[in-house]
Structure 1
Amino acid sequence: MIIEAERSCLLLVDFQGRLAPAISSAMETVAAARRLALAARLFDVPVIASEQNPQGLGPTIEALRDLPELVIAKTAFDASRQSELQDALDEDRDTVLIAGWEAHVCVMQTAFGLKMNGFAPVVVADAIGSRQPASKAAALDRLARHGVEIVTSEMVVFEWLQDCEHPRFKEALALIK
Protein backbone atom coordinates (compact mmCIF):
# COMPACT_ATOMS: atom_id res chain seq x y z
CA MET A 1 0.00 0.00 0.00
CA ILE A 2 1.37 3.39 -1.02
CA ILE A 3 0.56 6.21 1.38
CA GLU A 4 -1.02 9.01 -0.63
CA ALA A 5 -1.24 12.54 0.77
CA GLU A 6 -4.76 13.10 -0.56
CA ARG A 7 -5.98 10.00 1.31
CA SER A 8 -4.04 10.71 4.54
CA CYS A 9 -4.70 12.26 7.93
CA LEU A 10 -2.12 12.59 10.72
CA LEU A 11 -3.12 11.85 14.31
CA LEU A 12 -0.78 12.96 17.12
CA VAL A 13 -1.74 10.87 20.14
CA ASP A 14 -1.10 12.26 23.63
CA PHE A 15 2.20 14.09 23.17
CA GLN A 16 1.75 15.80 26.53
CA GLY A 17 4.46 17.59 28.44
CA ARG A 18 3.90 15.86 31.77
CA LEU A 19 4.46 12.48 30.08
CA ALA A 20 7.73 13.52 28.40
CA PRO A 21 10.13 12.86 31.30
CA ALA A 22 8.93 9.26 31.54
CA ILE A 23 9.06 8.41 27.81
CA SER A 24 12.17 6.68 26.46
CA SER A 25 13.73 8.81 23.69
CA ALA A 26 10.91 11.33 24.07
CA MET A 27 12.55 14.22 22.25
CA GLU A 28 13.52 12.01 19.29
CA THR A 29 9.90 10.92 18.89
CA VAL A 30 8.73 14.54 19.17
CA ALA A 31 11.24 15.57 16.49
CA ALA A 32 9.97 12.85 14.15
CA ALA A 33 6.34 13.81 14.84
CA ARG A 34 7.11 17.49 14.22
CA ARG A 35 8.86 16.66 10.95
CA LEU A 36 5.83 14.62 9.92
CA ALA A 37 3.35 17.35 10.91
CA LEU A 38 5.32 20.00 9.03
CA ALA A 39 5.38 17.75 5.98
CA ALA A 40 1.63 17.23 6.39
CA ARG A 41 1.19 20.99 6.07
CA LEU A 42 3.18 20.96 2.81
CA PHE A 43 0.85 18.34 1.36
CA ASP A 44 -2.45 19.64 2.80
CA VAL A 45 -2.79 16.61 5.06
CA PRO A 46 -5.02 17.36 8.08
CA VAL A 47 -3.35 17.11 11.50
CA ILE A 48 -5.39 16.20 14.58
CA ALA A 49 -4.09 15.78 18.14
CA SER A 50 -5.55 13.99 21.13
CA GLU A 51 -4.82 14.74 24.77
CA GLN A 52 -5.33 12.09 27.45
CA ASN A 53 -6.98 13.59 30.52
CA PRO A 54 -5.53 17.07 29.85
CA GLN A 55 -6.58 18.31 33.31
CA GLY A 56 -4.13 15.83 34.81
CA LEU A 57 -1.48 15.51 32.09
CA GLY A 58 -1.58 19.02 30.65
CA PRO A 59 -1.65 20.16 27.03
CA THR A 60 0.21 18.94 23.97
CA ILE A 61 3.96 19.51 24.27
CA GLU A 62 5.04 22.96 23.08
CA ALA A 63 7.06 21.69 20.09
CA LEU A 64 3.85 20.26 18.58
CA ARG A 65 1.18 22.54 20.04
CA ASP A 66 0.92 24.86 17.02
CA LEU A 67 0.60 22.10 14.39
CA PRO A 68 -2.79 20.38 14.78
CA GLU A 69 -5.92 21.94 13.33
CA LEU A 70 -7.99 20.20 15.99
CA VAL A 71 -7.17 19.02 19.52
CA ILE A 72 -9.46 16.46 21.14
CA ALA A 73 -9.55 15.86 24.89
CA LYS A 74 -10.19 12.24 25.87
CA THR A 75 -10.34 9.84 28.76
CA ALA A 76 -10.57 6.58 26.79
CA PHE A 77 -7.21 5.16 25.74
CA ASP A 78 -8.60 4.56 22.22
CA ALA A 79 -8.96 8.04 20.69
CA SER A 80 -11.26 6.64 17.99
CA ARG A 81 -13.99 6.31 20.65
CA GLN A 82 -14.27 10.10 20.87
CA SER A 83 -17.17 11.47 18.83
CA GLU A 84 -15.09 14.57 17.99
CA LEU A 85 -12.50 12.38 16.28
CA GLN A 86 -15.16 10.33 14.52
CA ASP A 87 -16.70 13.58 13.22
CA ALA A 88 -13.30 14.95 12.14
CA LEU A 89 -12.20 11.87 10.22
CA ASP A 90 -13.06 11.84 6.56
CA GLU A 91 -13.85 8.57 4.80
CA ASP A 92 -11.99 9.91 1.74
CA ARG A 93 -8.91 10.20 3.97
CA ASP A 94 -9.00 6.62 5.16
CA THR A 95 -5.26 6.34 5.84
CA VAL A 96 -4.65 7.57 9.40
CA LEU A 97 -0.98 7.99 10.26
CA ILE A 98 -0.43 7.69 13.99
CA ALA A 99 2.38 9.17 16.06
CA GLY A 100 2.29 9.42 19.83
CA TRP A 101 2.75 8.21 23.36
CA GLU A 102 2.38 5.53 24.83
CA ALA A 103 2.88 3.01 22.06
CA HIS A 104 1.57 0.03 24.00
CA VAL A 105 -1.51 1.79 25.36
CA CYS A 106 -3.12 4.76 23.58
CA VAL A 107 -1.30 4.42 20.24
CA MET A 108 -2.02 0.70 19.94
CA GLN A 109 -5.62 0.88 21.13
CA THR A 110 -6.31 3.82 18.80
CA ALA A 111 -4.84 1.94 15.83
CA PHE A 112 -6.99 -1.10 16.58
CA GLY A 113 -10.07 1.10 17.06
CA LEU A 114 -9.51 2.87 13.76
CA LYS A 115 -9.04 -0.45 11.99
CA MET A 116 -12.29 -1.79 13.45
CA ASN A 117 -14.03 1.34 12.13
CA GLY A 118 -12.88 0.82 8.54
CA PHE A 119 -9.82 3.07 8.47
CA ALA A 120 -6.28 2.03 7.52
CA PRO A 121 -4.10 2.92 10.51
CA VAL A 122 -0.40 3.38 9.82
CA VAL A 123 1.88 3.64 12.85
CA VAL A 124 5.01 5.76 12.45
CA ALA A 125 7.64 3.81 14.40
CA ASP A 126 10.16 6.61 14.91
CA ALA A 127 7.38 8.96 16.09
CA ILE A 128 6.00 6.75 18.87
CA GLY A 129 7.33 6.06 22.33
CA SER A 130 6.71 4.28 25.62
CA ARG A 131 8.27 4.45 29.05
CA GLN A 132 10.05 1.16 28.39
CA PRO A 133 11.60 0.31 24.99
CA ALA A 134 10.35 -3.27 25.42
CA SER A 135 6.75 -2.01 25.61
CA LYS A 136 7.20 -0.09 22.35
CA ALA A 137 8.75 -3.13 20.67
CA ALA A 138 5.93 -5.40 21.87
CA ALA A 139 3.32 -2.91 20.62
CA LEU A 140 4.95 -2.68 17.18
CA ASP A 141 5.13 -6.47 16.96
CA ARG A 142 1.50 -6.90 17.99
CA LEU A 143 0.27 -4.16 15.64
CA ALA A 144 2.13 -5.71 12.70
CA ARG A 145 0.77 -9.17 13.49
CA HIS A 146 -2.73 -7.72 13.36
CA GLY A 147 -2.27 -6.08 9.96
CA VAL A 148 -1.37 -2.52 10.94
CA GLU A 149 1.25 -0.94 8.66
CA ILE A 150 4.46 0.14 10.41
CA VAL A 151 6.52 2.87 8.71
CA THR A 152 9.01 5.64 9.48
CA SER A 153 8.47 9.37 9.10
CA GLU A 154 10.91 9.50 6.20
CA MET A 155 9.03 6.72 4.38
CA VAL A 156 5.82 8.72 4.71
CA VAL A 157 7.33 11.95 3.37
CA PHE A 158 8.74 10.21 0.30
CA GLU A 159 5.46 8.39 -0.34
CA TRP A 160 3.59 11.68 -0.09
CA LEU A 161 6.07 13.16 -2.59
CA GLN A 162 5.96 10.22 -5.03
CA ASP A 163 8.29 12.02 -7.46
CA CYS A 164 11.43 14.17 -7.21
CA GLU A 165 9.73 16.61 -9.56
CA HIS A 166 6.97 17.28 -7.04
CA PRO A 167 6.70 21.08 -6.56
CA ARG A 168 7.30 20.70 -2.79
CA PHE A 169 10.27 18.32 -3.13
CA LYS A 170 12.95 20.74 -1.88
CA GLU A 171 10.82 21.87 1.07
CA ALA A 172 10.07 18.25 2.04
CA LEU A 173 13.70 17.22 1.64
CA ALA A 174 14.76 20.06 3.95
CA LEU A 175 12.58 18.58 6.69
CA ILE A 176 14.33 15.22 6.44
CA LYS A 177 17.92 16.47 6.33
Structure 2
Amino acid sequence: MLVIVDMQARLLPHLNDAAGVTERAGTLLRAATLLDVPVVCTEQNPQRLGATVDALRDDLRTAKVIEKHTFDATFAPAFADALPPAPATLWVAGAEAHVCVLLTMLGLLRLGYRVECVADAVASRRAEDRAVALERAKQDGARLTTVETAVFGWLGSFTHPRFRDVLALIK
Protein backbone atom coordinates (compact mmCIF):
# COMPACT_ATOMS: atom_id res chain seq x y z
CA MET A 1 0.00 0.00 0.00
CA LEU A 2 1.13 3.53 -0.80
CA VAL A 3 0.49 6.15 1.89
CA ILE A 4 0.49 9.80 0.80
CA VAL A 5 0.60 12.14 3.80
CA ASP A 6 -0.81 15.67 3.78
CA MET A 7 0.13 16.97 0.33
CA GLN A 8 -2.18 19.92 0.82
CA ALA A 9 -2.78 23.18 -1.00
CA ARG A 10 -1.95 25.61 1.82
CA LEU A 11 1.02 23.63 3.11
CA LEU A 12 2.99 22.83 -0.05
CA PRO A 13 3.91 26.39 -1.08
CA HIS A 14 5.99 26.66 2.10
CA LEU A 15 7.98 23.46 1.57
CA ASN A 16 11.49 23.08 0.24
CA ASP A 17 11.32 21.61 -3.31
CA ALA A 18 7.52 21.51 -3.24
CA ALA A 19 7.24 21.24 -7.04
CA GLY A 20 9.71 18.35 -7.23
CA VAL A 21 8.11 16.46 -4.35
CA THR A 22 4.65 16.95 -5.87
CA GLU A 23 5.90 15.65 -9.22
CA ARG A 24 7.48 12.57 -7.62
CA ALA A 25 4.38 11.89 -5.49
CA GLY A 26 2.33 12.12 -8.69
CA THR A 27 4.58 9.54 -10.33
CA LEU A 28 4.06 7.22 -7.35
CA LEU A 29 0.30 7.68 -7.48
CA ARG A 30 0.06 7.05 -11.24
CA ALA A 31 2.28 3.97 -10.99
CA ALA A 32 0.26 2.65 -8.04
CA THR A 33 -2.94 3.06 -10.05
CA LEU A 34 -1.46 1.27 -13.08
CA LEU A 35 -0.17 -1.58 -10.91
CA ASP A 36 -3.20 -1.91 -8.63
CA VAL A 37 -1.24 -0.90 -5.53
CA PRO A 38 -3.80 0.36 -3.00
CA VAL A 39 -3.45 4.01 -1.97
CA VAL A 40 -4.49 5.88 1.13
CA CYS A 41 -4.06 9.65 1.30
CA THR A 42 -4.36 11.75 4.44
CA GLU A 43 -5.39 15.36 4.80
CA GLN A 44 -4.48 17.14 8.04
CA ASN A 45 -7.24 19.53 9.11
CA PRO A 46 -8.34 20.25 5.53
CA GLN A 47 -10.61 23.10 6.65
CA ARG A 48 -7.46 25.10 7.43
CA LEU A 49 -4.81 23.52 5.17
CA GLY A 50 -7.01 22.82 2.15
CA ALA A 51 -7.51 19.58 0.29
CA THR A 52 -4.80 17.61 -1.48
CA VAL A 53 -3.21 19.78 -4.18
CA ASP A 54 -4.90 19.83 -7.57
CA ALA A 55 -1.78 18.38 -9.23
CA LEU A 56 -2.43 15.11 -7.38
CA ARG A 57 -6.22 15.19 -7.19
CA ASP A 58 -6.89 13.33 -10.48
CA ASP A 59 -4.53 10.57 -9.43
CA LEU A 60 -6.52 9.96 -6.24
CA ARG A 61 -9.59 8.55 -8.01
CA THR A 62 -9.11 5.08 -6.56
CA ALA A 63 -7.47 6.19 -3.29
CA LYS A 64 -9.06 6.40 0.12
CA VAL A 65 -8.75 10.04 1.22
CA ILE A 66 -8.88 10.36 4.99
CA GLU A 67 -9.28 13.53 7.03
CA LYS A 68 -7.25 13.50 10.22
CA HIS A 69 -6.53 15.76 13.17
CA THR A 70 -3.62 13.84 14.67
CA PHE A 71 -0.04 14.21 13.51
CA ASP A 72 0.43 10.42 13.63
CA ALA A 73 -2.20 9.14 11.20
CA THR A 74 -2.33 5.77 12.95
CA PHE A 75 -4.33 7.45 15.72
CA ALA A 76 -7.08 8.32 13.22
CA PRO A 77 -9.56 5.40 13.25
CA ALA A 78 -10.42 5.75 9.54
CA PHE A 79 -6.74 5.54 8.62
CA ALA A 80 -6.11 2.50 10.81
CA ASP A 81 -9.19 0.82 9.32
CA ALA A 82 -7.90 1.41 5.77
CA LEU A 83 -4.60 -0.41 6.39
CA PRO A 84 -3.96 -4.01 5.35
CA PRO A 85 -3.07 -6.46 8.11
CA ALA A 86 0.45 -6.13 9.51
CA PRO A 87 3.21 -7.00 8.66
CA ALA A 88 2.43 -5.66 5.16
CA THR A 89 4.88 -3.26 3.53
CA LEU A 90 3.74 0.35 3.30
CA TRP A 91 5.49 2.97 1.14
CA VAL A 92 5.17 6.45 2.67
CA ALA A 93 5.56 9.85 1.01
CA GLY A 94 4.33 13.36 1.73
CA ALA A 95 4.67 16.33 4.06
CA GLU A 96 6.02 17.42 6.40
CA ALA A 97 8.84 14.92 6.75
CA HIS A 98 9.64 15.77 10.37
CA VAL A 99 6.06 15.96 11.63
CA CYS A 100 3.19 13.98 10.09
CA VAL A 101 5.30 11.78 7.82
CA LEU A 102 7.78 10.79 10.53
CA LEU A 103 5.18 10.37 13.28
CA THR A 104 2.98 8.28 10.98
CA MET A 105 5.94 6.07 10.02
CA LEU A 106 6.81 5.59 13.69
CA GLY A 107 3.18 4.68 14.38
CA LEU A 108 3.16 2.18 11.52
CA LEU A 109 6.37 0.61 12.79
CA ARG A 110 4.86 0.40 16.29
CA LEU A 111 1.90 -1.48 14.76
CA GLY A 112 4.22 -4.02 13.12
CA TYR A 113 4.31 -2.79 9.51
CA ARG A 114 7.35 -2.78 7.27
CA VAL A 115 7.83 0.86 6.30
CA GLU A 116 9.56 2.13 3.16
CA CYS A 117 10.09 5.89 3.33
CA VAL A 118 10.13 7.23 -0.23
CA ALA A 119 12.84 9.75 0.60
CA ASP A 120 12.75 11.74 -2.64
CA ALA A 121 8.98 12.23 -2.23
CA VAL A 122 8.98 13.73 1.26
CA ALA A 123 9.49 17.38 2.14
CA SER A 124 9.73 19.85 5.00
CA ARG A 125 10.01 23.61 5.12
CA ARG A 126 13.66 23.37 6.11
CA ALA A 127 16.16 20.92 4.61
CA GLU A 128 17.59 20.28 8.09
CA ASP A 129 14.22 19.09 9.41
CA ARG A 130 13.86 16.70 6.46
CA ALA A 131 17.37 15.33 6.94
CA VAL A 132 16.84 14.68 10.65
CA ALA A 133 13.45 13.08 9.98
CA LEU A 134 14.96 10.68 7.43
CA GLU A 135 17.75 9.76 9.83
CA ARG A 136 15.29 9.22 12.68
CA ALA A 137 13.02 7.08 10.50
CA LYS A 138 16.00 4.95 9.52
CA GLN A 139 17.21 4.62 13.12
CA ASP A 140 13.75 3.46 14.20
CA GLY A 141 13.43 0.80 11.49
CA ALA A 142 12.04 2.40 8.34
CA ARG A 143 13.91 1.67 5.14
CA LEU A 144 14.75 4.57 2.85
CA THR A 145 13.96 4.21 -0.82
CA THR A 146 13.24 6.35 -3.88
CA VAL A 147 10.33 6.71 -6.26
CA GLU A 148 12.07 4.72 -8.98
CA THR A 149 13.13 1.93 -6.63
CA ALA A 150 9.56 1.65 -5.29
CA VAL A 151 8.01 1.62 -8.75
CA PHE A 152 10.44 -0.91 -10.22
CA GLY A 153 10.00 -3.03 -7.10
CA TRP A 154 6.23 -3.03 -7.68
CA LEU A 155 6.84 -4.07 -11.29
CA GLY A 156 9.23 -6.86 -10.39
CA SER A 157 10.35 -7.47 -13.98
CA PHE A 158 10.46 -5.88 -17.41
CA THR A 159 8.13 -8.69 -18.49
CA HIS A 160 5.29 -7.17 -16.43
CA PRO A 161 2.43 -6.29 -18.83
CA ARG A 162 2.43 -2.68 -17.57
CA PHE A 163 6.21 -2.19 -17.80
CA ARG A 164 6.13 0.22 -20.75
CA ASP A 165 3.28 2.26 -19.24
CA VAL A 166 5.14 2.62 -15.95
CA LEU A 167 8.46 3.32 -17.70
CA ALA A 168 6.78 6.23 -19.49
CA LEU A 169 6.01 7.76 -16.08
CA ILE A 170 9.67 7.68 -15.11
CA LYS A 171 11.14 9.08 -18.31
| TM superposition score category, shorter chain reference | over 0.9
What letter corresponds to residue 107 of structure 1 in structure 2?
V
Matched residue, 1:42: 34
Matched residue, 1:134: 128
CA distance in 1, matches of 2:64, 2:4: 10
Equivalence map 1:142-157=2 (5 Å): 142-157=136-151
Matched residue, 2:114: 120
What is the root-mean-square deviation in Å for CA atoms of aligned residues?
1.1
Task: Tell me how far 1:26 sits from its aligned partner.
Answer: 0.3
TM-score (norm 1): 0.92
CA distance in 1, matches of 2:78, 2:31: 24
CA distance in 2, matches of 1:11, 1:167: 24
Contact between 2:109 and 2:141, CA under 8 Å: does it hold in 1?
A: no
Which of these residues, 70, 84, 88, is aligned with residue 64 of structure 2? 70
Q: Which structure 1 residue ranges, 5 or more long, are not aligned?
A: 1-8
Q: Name the CA shift for 1:172/1:93 in 2 (closer, same or farther; >3 Å).
A: farther
Q: Number of residues paired by the alignment? A: 169
Which of these residues, 97, 104, 108, is aligned with residue 98 of structure 2? 104
Matched residue, 2:13: 21
Task: Tell me how far 1:66 sits from its aligned partner.
Answer: 2.5
CA distance in 2, matches of 1:26, 1:148: 23
Q: Which structure 2 residue ranges, 5 or more long, are not aligned?
A: none
Calculate percent identity across the aligned residue pairs.
46
Q: Secondary structure at the match of 2:102?
A: helix
Q: Secondary structure at the match of 1:73?
A: strand
Is structure 2 residue 82 aligned with structure 1 residue 88?
A: yes
Contact between 2:119 and 2:134, CA under 8 Å: does it hold in 1?
A: yes
Structure 1 window deviating more from structure 2 (155-164 vs 89-98): it is 89-98
**CA deviation map 1:58-109 (0-9, x unaligned):** 1000011222321111111001111111111111781111110000000000
Contact between 1:47 and 1:67, CA under 8 Å: does it hold in 2?
A: no
